[in-house]
Amino acid sequence: MAGFPLARPGMRVGLFGGSFDPPHAGHVHVTKWAMKGFGLDRVWWLVSPGNPIKPDAPADLGRRLAAARAIMRRPRVEVTDLEARLGTRATADTLAALRRRYPGVRFVWLMGADNLATFHRWGRWQEIMSLVPVGVLARPGDQLRAGLSPAACRFARWRLPASRARALPFAQPPAWCLLTGRMLDLSSSELRALGVWRR
């Protein structure tokens, strides 16, 4: 991908951010699940230059982009370095910049239930919830923790039932929905620990 991806007003675009250090089959599974479950037209992987809340720097951005593009080969999914291009690191800043650049696009922030469980530790997490709807996908062992998390409790009244998941892109934020279903028990940190991916 050269430059910025294309999106027309009214399109439903899922934003899946992370270090992808390394990208793996779990990321692919969640992406396909989110596209179907939330009725998305596109998903953009936002391969981050670095995670502000993680102490260790990830592998080189170019290497992670290349690995992500090698594993995620679907015409409606774009692997991007948008945060590097926008000059943003905080998710709230990235979302605000994308909304300015793509007026009328219906963005949905995608995250695993493990991220919802710790979402209250993210910078300006309540602002993120006010900017775009949030689609949450269950992760092995994290579903209960996510449902009882400070973020889930704080925004409980704005939770859409899974039966209305495809309405999420059209919901006025704050709005969020948790999907449960078949899960893959994979994580980037485990792959690094096994020596499958070296920084």
Q: Where are the alpha helices (DSSP H) in the chain?
A: 25-38, 61-71, 82-86, 91-101, 113-117, 125-131, 143-147, 150-154, 188-193
Residue 192 scores a pLDDT above 50: no
Q: Tell me the C-alpha distance between 91 and 20, whole Å.
A: 15
User: By C-alpha distance, which of 8, 33, 6, 4 is closest to 106?
Assistant: 8
pLDDT band at 59 (very low <50, low <70, confident <90, very high): confident
Determine the residue type at 168.
L
Work out the mean pLDDT of the chain and round it to a whole number.
87
Superfamily grouping for domain 12-193: HUPs (3.40.50.620)
Residue 125 near residue 151, CB atoms below 8 Å: yes
Residue 19 near residue 58, CB atoms below 8 Å: yes
Q: What angle do CA 20, 87, 56 make, to 5 degrees?
A: 40
pLDDT band at 6 (very low <50, low <70, confident <90, very high): very high
pLDDT tens, 139-155?
A: 766 677 888 899 999 99
For the chain, give the longest Cα–Cα distance.
Answer: 43
Helix, strand, coil proportions of the chain in percent (round to 5)? Answer: 40, 15, 40
- Give the 3-state secondary structure of residue 98: helix
Q: Tell me the C-alpha distance between 71 and 23, whole Å.
A: 7
Q: Tell me the C-alpha distance between 157 and 160, whole Å.
A: 9
Q: Tell me the C-alpha distance between 119 and 94, whole Å.
A: 16
What is the length of the chain?
199
Q: Tell me the C-alpha distance between 87 and 152, whole Å.
A: 30
pLDDT band at 130 (very low <50, low <70, confident <90, very high): very high
pLDDT band at 188 (very low <50, low <70, confident <90, very high): very low
Residue 193 scores a pLDDT above 50: no
Please give the structure tokens belonging to residue 53. 């809340």
Q: Where are the domains of the chain?
A: 12-193
Q: Tell me the C-alpha distance between 129 and 25, whole Å.
A: 27
Q: Considering only residues 55 and 37, tell me which one the structure prediction assigns the higher pLDDT.
A: 37
